[in-house]
Chain A
Amino acid sequence: MAGTVSPHDAKTLIEQLPILQVLVPFCTAPLIVLIGNRHMAWLLAFVASVISLVISYVLLTQVYGGGFISYQLGGWAPPLGIEYRVDAANALVMLLISAIATLTLPFAYESVKDEIKAKDHTLFYACFMLCYTGLMGVVITGDAFNVFVFLEISSLSTYVLVAQGAGRDKRALTAAYDYLIMGTIGATFFVIGIGFLFMSTGTLNMADLADRIANEGTNRTIRAGFAFIIVGMGLKAAMYPLHLWLPKAYTFAPSAVTVLLSATSTKMAIYVLLRFLFSVYNPEFIFELNVMFLVFMPLALIAMFSASFVAVFQVNFKRMLAYSSIAQIGYMLLGIAMFNLSGLTGTMVHMFNHGITKAVLFMGVGALVLRTGSSFYNNLNGLGRVMPLTVAPIVIGGLSLIGVPGTAGFVSKWMLVQAAFENGWWFIAILIVLSSLLAVVYVWRAIEVLYLSEPAQGTKMAEAPMSMLIPMWILAIACIWFGVATDLPLGAASTAAEVLLSGSFGMVE
């Protein structure tokens, strides 16, 4: 039922879904603070995220085959009013974000109890919901300035969430501070870029921007805006070499926050990059600039190799995964740089697949931290034998991270390599597979620690609690499921890639 919706003539709840997607979590946050009970807080957050997951799924089924839903906020017609616009590209990202949030919350219940002081729990969940609102808002909106607003909502709450790690390790404070500085610079760059666009075109609606840029051609202001937007979002996406905030933030944030951040927040930034690269600026314009080939590709390749290489030498499991994330973001950027259908499909599907893969890995580490109090390798010796049910999902996630066939990670690598061959860039294809070998090394190092070292004398640890095991296993099974039954992510991703490549913002039928 793709089409345009104005709330005044919307008859059914289904037609109101786009706004509910943002409103539900947004209203939950103050409600949590008002109620002030930490158990209720968790419950409310969980219910909100489940509702949001259902909404995401319904929206995706509506735009899965192409087309878009345009929702006019307050009945004000775009380009003056704010427009929410759902197509396959952002519906897939929304599904990822809401699914991860829904699975993270049960996980968070025990983890937060262990890592954060009891009096802060309600505020933690409120911030969690605000962060979630921001992520959803950025993804769903079709208005450039609105992107900035939601971006700030999610960023500010993220800084608070990261700083909550201070209960366990004071370095979380400096990590949050670093992230605050870098994130603010990124957001500022982004808003400057938007300002340039507004200066030159007089509009903020993305579809309208696309039209005007296409009709009026480019000028220096528009190009400067482009540069600011890319750098700003590149910072949020931890695009090499703007990634310095990431390892610290992921390492020192509370486990549940790391899960949410790693699986969703960088993906959101990549999505915004894609939106601006392809939908707002039209593809030919970018091609003229050769940004893809001369900037994205080398940076992506450097990220893939250097970050993986650094990951190999980490002694802290969480930090290793953080560096691996930077490398994986390199793959996503590489897919963009390929500039063909398979490449973009690869990027979209890798966002999804890497999201679930990293979520299960960080959850696994979180569970180990709950039991051992540390994520350093030398405290994790032989735990695979002591708590097999907790460690097995980590192995599955690790295999998916490498891209072993039959796992989700393999599907995205396949698409990327295929895209490289389609362009005739066989050299890049070889580099992609070579960099996965580095992933083998860093993942296997962890597996050897977990299984082949002797457990410390008298180690008798219980498995992680059910509330952690269940989400972990759901994600682990998803890693395998989406490696074989690729319909949903691959189908949505290829529709999304078509949409993006045509530059038409969802108008492919």
Chain B
Amino acid sequence: MIFDTTTAIILAMLIPLAAMAGNMAFKNMPNLRDGFTFLCAVLTFGAVLVVLANEGNSVTSEFSLIEVFPGIDIAFNVEPLGLMFAIIASGLWIITHIYGVGYMRGNDEKHHARFFACFAIAISSVMGIAFSSNMFTLFLFYEILTVSTYPLVAHKGTPDAVKGARTYLAILIGTSIALQLTAVIWTYALAGTLDFTQGGILVGKVAGWVVPVLLGLYAFGIGKAALMPFHKWLPAAMVAPTPVSALLHAVAVVKAGVFTMLKVGIYIFGIDFLAETGASEWLMWLAAYSIIAASVVAMTQDNLKKRLAYSTVSQLSYITLGMALATSMGALGGGMHIAMHAMGKITLFMCAGAIYVAYHKTEISQMQGLGRVMPITFGAFLIGSLSIIGLPPLGGSWPKFLLMLGAADTGHLIIIGVLMASSLLNVAYLLPIVGRGFFRPLDDGAPTKRYEGPVLVWLPPALTALGCFVLFFYGGALQSFLLPIIGQ
């Protein structure tokens, strides 16, 4: 009980901003700058842990910073889903920062200060998203996250990077302003409030065709959830340096998307209301399509990061699917998948970056035999892959299990089939990478001495791979932690 919860939440948002200021101030002092950011990352994580220690998995009442429109405040509260998201993002920030320093230095990238400054703003807005207690506040930070990550995607400044960043911005800003904002204001006009409320705020306020249409505006408007056909930004964002892909495009940004999706499903519409009206039925089928289609596209990609990006598109739709199933098991499974997929996918991305730093390889076809010279990296990649596939004893197995239960609850046997097919597809596009690395011979003339790159680059993925194991054993604890979101 070092601070009260309110102070801790505010600190969790302010400390990353201090990191940003530090990066500006110590622009030309690399060690001081990066050390300071590391300190800030640890403190941010600490602040979030204080919230956890204070509140556990209870849902607190909101505190408001300022009233923007009559009845609409910038306000925050704690609830399990958001707290979990905050813990993941701030915890992984520490690891990614270490990795990022190794990557940026090992790779001779430029403009480090700008890079880490934008990174910190992004983390600050993720904290805002995680703790926001109404849709307005969430939307505000959602947009700040988009704008602050744009310079990161465009970081290299090459024509490719500029083009990728343009796609990134066009899709994310386009969907959020054209669709999500419309949905938010419409919700406000209908319900007279935007507060996240257990059981939803739309019950009794709308009926008929409006419900699926409004849900559609949200589902497509939350572009960060990468639901097809608005998924193109994610592969386009792969031009960014790998630490960005790792933390932001495997954890923070995409998870902010599906997190918003779950929040909307659970607290704006209400799971029961969705089940009653059947408004999310179409979304379930679309998510199922997205899962399969993105996996199939992933198989055709030779660029490792692009393949992982399509894999992310597919995995994000698990979470959307969990919400659209409109059962408590589905919502729980979706919530857990945020954590499990984050841990697995960040491992994979950091491995991809390590390969790039050590050998400058980006295409899978060039990676034969690399497992022999970087066994730790490829070992971590294997564990991450297995977790994504959903094999025990790795964390990724729990959400799949819960989602299947949810599908069985609602009698959607086809969805169970989709989930199983998707696991098989995961095997088909992830494991050959590992196989190629370990079992194929090295290219002629390639160095055969073991070299994993700098320690800061191979250690972090090894740690997160370990995390995938640990999460398996804490799966039950996580599930009971999340129970309040389904009203239990």
> Are A and B bound to each other?
yes
B240-264 contacts to A, CB under 8 A, are none
Across the interface, do B186 and A405 meet the contact criterion of CB distance under 8 Å?
Answer: no
Across the interface, do B186 and A421 meet the contact criterion of CB distance under 8 Å?
Answer: yes
Cβ distance A357 to chain B, nearest Cβ, rounded Å = 16
Cα-based distance from A452 to B159 in the complex (angstroms): 9
**How many chain-B residues does the 8 Å CB contact rule pick out?**
28
Judge whether A404 is part of the interface by a CB distance below 8 angstroms: yes
A393-420 contacts to B, CB under 8 A, are 399, 402-406, 411, 414-415, 417-418
Across the interface, do B177 and A437 meet the contact criterion of CB distance under 8 Å?
Answer: yes
Judge whether A485 is part of the interface by a CB distance below 8 angstroms: yes
Cα-based distance from A486 to B69 in the complex (angstroms): 7
Across the interface, do A452 and B157 meet the contact criterion of CB distance under 8 Å?
Answer: yes
Known contacts: A418-B188, A434-B178, A437-B174. The answer to whether A406 contacts B162 by CB under 8 A is no
Q: Which of A219-227, A233-241, A298-306, A425-433 is the interface stretch?
A: A425-433
Chain B residues near A485 (CB, 8 Å)?
A: 66
Chain A residues near B66 (CB, 8 Å)?
A: 484-485
Judge whether A444 is part of the interface by a CB distance below 8 angstroms: yes
**How many chain-A residues does the 8 Å CB contact rule pick out?**
30
Judge whether A242 is part of the interface by a CB distance below 8 angstroms: no
Known contacts: A485-B66, A490-B69. The answer to whether A417 contacts B182 by CB under 8 A is yes
Q: Mask for A435-457, Cβ within 8 A of B = 1, else 0?
A: 01100100010001001101000
Name which residue of chain B comes closest to A485, CB basis: B66
Chain A residues near B143 (CB, 8 Å)?
A: 404-406
Chain B residues near A437 (CB, 8 Å)?
A: 173-174, 177-178
Judge whether A422 is part of the interface by a CB distance below 8 angstroms: yes
Cβ distance A247 to chain B, nearest Cβ, rounded Å = 26
Across the interface, do A433 and B177 meet the contact criterion of CB distance under 8 Å?
Answer: yes
Across the interface, do A414 and B69 meet the contact criterion of CB distance under 8 Å?
Answer: yes
Instruction: State which of B151, B157, B169 has its C-beta within 8 Å of the C-beta of A444.
Output: B169
Cα-based distance from A426 to B139 in the complex (angstroms): 20
Cα-based distance from A440 to B93 in the complex (angstroms): 30
Chain B residues near A418 (CB, 8 Å)?
A: 185, 188-189
Cα-based distance from A422 to B185 in the complex (angstroms): 10
Across the interface, do B154 and A452 meet the contact criterion of CB distance under 8 Å?
Answer: yes
Cα-based distance from A448 to B166 in the complex (angstroms): 9
Q: Mask for A244-282, Cβ within 8 A of B = 1, else 0?
A: 000000000000000000000000000000000000000
Name which residue of chain A comes closest to B175, CB basis: A437
Majority secondary structure, A binding face: helix
Cβ distance A1 to chain B, nearest Cβ, rounded Å = 27
Q: Mask for B149-173, Cβ within 8 A of A = 1, else 0?
A: 0010010010000100110011001
Cα-based distance from A448 to B140 in the complex (angstroms): 23
Cα-based distance from A402 to B169 in the complex (angstroms): 13
Chain B residues near A430 (CB, 8 Å)?
A: 178, 182
Instruction: State which of A417, A440, A490 has its C-beta within 8 Å of the C-beta of B173.
Output: A440
Name which residue of chain B comes closest to A413, CB basis: B181
Instruction: State which of A422, A426, A452 has its C-beta within 8 Å of the C-beta of B162.
Output: A452
Chain B residues near A405 (CB, 8 Å)?
A: 139-140, 143-144
Chain B residues near A417 (CB, 8 Å)?
A: 181-182, 185
Name which residue of chain A comes closest to B139, CB basis: A405
Across the interface, do B68 and A411 meet the contact criterion of CB distance under 8 Å?
Answer: yes
Cα-based distance from A452 to B160 in the complex (angstroms): 12
B125-146 contacts to A, CB under 8 A, are 139-140, 143-144
Interface core residue of B154, B166, B178, B189 (most chain A CB under 10 Å): B189
Cβ distance A463 to chain B, nearest Cβ, rounded Å = 15
Judge whether B236 is part of the interface by a CB distance below 8 angstroms: no
Cβ distance B389 to chain A, nearest Cβ, rounded Å = 38
Instruction: State which of B139, B154, B177, B182 has its C-beta within 8 Å of the C-beta of A440.
Output: B177
Across the interface, do A436 and B177 meet the contact criterion of CB distance under 8 Å?
Answer: yes
Interface core residue of B68, B74, B154, B173 (most chain A CB under 10 Å): B68
Cα-based distance from A440 to B177 in the complex (angstroms): 10
Across the interface, do A404 and B147 meet the contact criterion of CB distance under 8 Å?
Answer: yes
Across the interface, do B140 and A406 meet the contact criterion of CB distance under 8 Å?
Answer: yes
Chain A residues near B68 (CB, 8 Å)?
A: 411, 484, 486
Cβ distance B482 to chain A, nearest Cβ, rounded Å = 28
Instruction: State which of B67, B147, B162, B178 has its C-beta within 8 Å of the C-beta of A448.
Output: B162
Cβ distance A343 to chain B, nearest Cβ, rounded Å = 13
Interface core residue of B144, B165, B178 (most chain A CB under 10 Å): B178
Cα-based distance from A418 to B480 in the complex (angstroms): 40
Across the interface, do A484 and B74 meet the contact criterion of CB distance under 8 Å?
Answer: yes
Chain A residues near B154 (CB, 8 Å)?
A: 451-452
Chain A residues near B174 (CB, 8 Å)?
A: 437, 440
Across the interface, do B189 and A422 meet the contact criterion of CB distance under 8 Å?
Answer: yes
Cβ distance B353 to chain A, nearest Cβ, rounded Å = 23
Cα-based distance from A262 to B188 in the complex (angstroms): 33
Q: Mask for B55-91, Cβ within 8 A of A = 1, else 0?
A: 0000000000011110000100000000000000000
Q: Mask for A72-89, Cβ within 8 A of B = 1, else 0?
A: 000000000000000000
Cβ distance B114 to chain A, nearest Cβ, rounded Å = 9
Cα-based distance from A158 to B219 in the complex (angstroms): 50
Chain B residues near A411 (CB, 8 Å)?
A: 68-69
Chain B residues near A484 (CB, 8 Å)?
A: 66, 68, 74
Across the interface, do B147 and A421 meet the contact criterion of CB distance under 8 Å?
Answer: no
Chain B residues near A433 (CB, 8 Å)?
A: 177-178, 181-182
Cα-based distance from A417 to B186 in the complex (angstroms): 9
Across the interface, do A406 and B144 meet the contact criterion of CB distance under 8 Å?
Answer: yes
Cα-based distance from A444 to B146 in the complex (angstroms): 14
Cα-based distance from A140 to B235 in the complex (angstroms): 57
Cβ distance B73 to chain A, nearest Cβ, rounded Å = 11
Cα-based distance from A451 to B140 in the complex (angstroms): 24
Cα-based distance from A442 to B182 in the complex (angstroms): 21
Cα-based distance from A393 to B165 in the complex (angstroms): 21
Across the interface, do A421 and B185 meet the contact criterion of CB distance under 8 Å?
Answer: yes
B325-363 contacts to A, CB under 8 A, are none
Name which residue of chain A comes closest to B140, CB basis: A405
Name which residue of chain A comes closest to B144, CB basis: A406
Chain A residues near B74 (CB, 8 Å)?
A: 484
Cα-based distance from A317 to B12 in the complex (angstroms): 39
Q: Mask for B451-482, Cβ within 8 A of A = 1, else 0?
A: 00000000000000000000000000000000
Cα-based distance from A99 to B248 in the complex (angstroms): 41
Cα-based distance from A490 to B70 in the complex (angstroms): 10
B159-213 contacts to A, CB under 8 A, are 162, 165-166, 169-170, 173-174, 177-178, 181-182, 185-186, 188-189
**Known contacts A418-B188, A448-B166, A452-B154, then 6 further A-B pairs from the complex at CB < 8 Å, ordered by chain A residue:** A402-B173, A406-B143, A421-B185, A434-B178, A440-B170, A440-B173
Task: List 17 interface pairs A-B (beta carbons < 8 Å), by A numbering.
Answer: A402-B177, A411-B69, A417-B181, A418-B185, A418-B189, A421-B185, A421-B186, A429-B182, A430-B182, A437-B178, A440-B169, A444-B169, A448-B166, A451-B154, A452-B157, A486-B68, A490-B69
Give the 8 A-B CB pairs with smallest separation, nearest first.
A421-B189, A405-B140, A417-B185, A405-B143, A433-B178, A452-B162, A406-B140, A486-B68
Chain B contacts to A: CB under 8 angstroms: 66-69, 74, 139-140, 143-144, 147, 151, 154, 157, 162, 165-166, 169-170, 173-174, 177-178, 181-182, 185-186, 188-189
